[in-house]
Structure 1
């Protein structure tokens, strides 16, 4: 069966919608921008927008696909570059730093996306996503490499899951905005808590 390609006008509309949304979100914040405003600014009908994206969460999800690929490539490059020069705890700390940078930079898009995951398919939808699977495998591998043992050692996969749950963008913004933590404070605490450094 041949692969169905997106029509050129549909692809152009998608590109225009995503560029417009990203620009408006950067200027006003995701919560302040309506779907109507996106359609009007892009110069397309609301029907065209809603045929492509049922709600803002769908739009954020599409925007995040490229960003997810970028952060995964960044983490892969970091790990490849430092595979032989840094011990596993330091590499884990570096990955945690990169994840926090990503959350800090993309929190306004991640929060609506998180809300979509909570509403669509139950609360486990995020845990079936490609970014979760990638991060889960990466963190589990590093934790296995660290290889803590003894009576108080935890399962690497369990710990990786706990790390990802603790990096909820809403919780991160609470630490930054309500608790007065800087991004560097958060990085330091995560490194100490999960990498022991």
Structure 2
């Protein structure tokens, strides 16, 4: 990617992060982003075809940080197996809480979800959960671990997670405890 294109992408991301301090992503439109960034609407759309693609880029750094921290946590041999899973799951729930509106925007766009499922980042996320689940279920084979990791990620998608938090009135800790019990 050209230097000016990279600079535009960074500028766009910075502008949107600043806008998100004042309003939800749903309230921000592409024209407002272009105007605030002082770029043409065409430039914005060349970089991001929609808000879902923009949201994915915004959440990417936090997800990468979660993955790096989780890999580090999994390498610790002095933590009880159940606690490794609990630590990683707690961190993932914190990541989801922090990025709820961005993740919701991504997950409501089928094309963006498909792109994410095919990404290296998604595979890293699946591998993190496979390793953590393997600590609880050491007799599971690779296919079973992949399935369990996929189902864990699916059941924590924004709409389901939000429903459990708001309609079912479950705290983050209660959701955590319930999930741990499912995987024991």
Match of 1:119 in 2: 111
Q: In the TM superposition, what is the alpha-carbon distance from 1:47 to its structure 2 partner? A: 1.6
Match of 1:67 in 2: 62
* Alpha carbons of structure 1 residues 135 and 11: separation in structure 2 relative to 1, 3 Å: closer
Does structure 1 residue 7 correspond to structure 2 residue 12? no
1:102 to 90, 95, 101: 95
In structure 2, distance between residues paired with 1:128 and 1:97: 25
Corresponding residue SS for 2:12: helix
Stretches of structure 2 lacking an aligned partner (at least 5 in a row): none
Match of 2:151 in 1: 162
CA contact (8 A) 2:15 2:37 kept: yes
* Alpha carbons of structure 1 residues 124 and 7: separation in structure 2 relative to 1, 3 Å: closer
Residue-pair matches, total: 182
Match of 2:131 in 1: 141
How does the TM-score come out when normalised to structure 2? Answer: 0.87
Tell me which moved more, 93-102 or 83-92. Answer: 83-92
In structure 1, distance between residues paired with 2:125 and 2:6: 30
Q: Looking at CA atoms only, which structure, 1 or 2, has the larger radius of gyration? A: 1
Query: Residue deviations 1:28-52, cap 9 Å, x none?
Result: 1111110011111112121211111
2:53 to 58, 71, 91: 58
CA contact (8 A) 1:114 1:126 kept: no
Greater than 4 Å deviation, 4+ residue runs: none
1:131 to 114, 117, 121: 121
The root-mean-square deviation of aligned C-alpha atoms, in Å, is: 2.2
Q: In the TM superposition, what is the alpha-carbon distance from 1:91 to its structure 2 partner? A: 0.7
In structure 2, distance between residues paired with 1:68 and 1:147: 25
Query: Matches of residues 19-98 of structure 1 in structure 2 within 5 Å?
Result: 19-80=14-75, 83-98=76-91
CA contact (8 A) 2:63 2:95 kept: no
Stretches of structure 1 lacking an aligned partner (at least 5 in a row): 1-5
